[in-house]
Amino acid sequence: MTQDRGDGEGRVAAPAALLVLALTIMVQANAAFAALVLAAIAPEVSHSLGVPTSFIGYQISLVYGAAAVSSLFAGGLVPRFGACRSSQISMVLVAAGCALATVPTVGTLVGASLVIGIGYGMTNPSASILLLRFTPGHRRNLIFSIKQTGVPLGGVMAGLLAPTVALAYGWQAAPATAASFAFLMAAALEIVRRSWDRESVARVAAGENPFESLRLVWRIAPLRWLSNGCFCFAVTQLCLVGFLVTLLVEEVDFTLLEAGFLLSLTQVMGAAGRVLWGWVADRLGDGLGVLMA
């Protein structure tokens, strides 16, 4: 039984591939939960700290700004430490950031957002390596689409859990819950780490230029245009998840629980859409055409 190395010719036992997919989804979901947990309770946080609810926009920007920088370096960390170990490191960082977010000051929330973002940025490179290794090429669009459902799943967790926990125990309990989930995820990954990280290369040079891949994307026109398009999609997505709860509570007079439920509903539909369009792309063999449509 051979592992797939990215050429689509290798195969791996279905249970192993499903386990990889399930755990990478869970890692992505926990990271997304951590990134969105404060946005899901933004009115409560802003009232407690005495800042405008628009403050959540800066908090989300810090998380994803740090994630963008972190992802540039994560590609070099994965072969050095192993994909599974890198996922564990990301979960520990996410847990630490969420724990720091329980301290009710603006300064600590800034630091917490940066730490969460650094951990978040490490999730995709490590998951991509694992999925490329363990999944067949002819199912890759669908598999990667399913893996990306971890993002809206994290949004569902944020929309349903964060307001409920915040109203019952205080808003600090929401990031504390996200911290607990991320820490438990890091511990659970230790079970499979040795078998998944057998190909890690400890001698990989730490001084490799992390911006080389960025320059490569910018030099190749199709990659440059695709990246710009994805940036626009990402802006739309983050505006929705970042401000929906605040909009519904402050402007439409929804309760925090009602707004959180609606946030969860949008994320459920987003998860379904990711799988649907990945399946369509595989069926048509034209991922770019489906993206344009």
For residue 71, what are its two tokens?
A: 């992802």
Position 92 scores a pLDDT of: 95
Whole-model pTM: value is 0.80
At residue 1, does pLDDT exceed 80?
no
**From CA 21, how far away is CA 49, in angstroms rounded?**
39
**Rounded to the nearest 5 degrees, what angle is found at the Cα of 239, between the Cα atoms of 228 and 74?**
55
**pLDDT tens-digit series, residues 168-216:** 999 999 999 999 999 999 999 988 888 777 655 444 444 456 677 778 8
CB contact set of 221 (below 8 Å; sequence gap of 6+)? none
Environment class of 215 (CB within 10 Å of its CB; exposed 0-12, middle 13-18, buried 19+): exposed
Q: Looking at residues 121-142, what average pLDDT do you find?
A: 75
Supply 175's token pair: 């990031």
Vertex 156: Cα angle to 152 and 160 (nearest 5)? 165
pLDDT (0 to 100) of residue 178: 95
Task: Find the range with the poorest average confidence among 45-49, 58-62, 136-140, 174-178.
Answer: 136-140
CA atoms of 280 and 39, how far apart (whole Å)? 32
Task: Give 10's pLDDT tier (boundaries 50, 70, 90).
Answer: very low
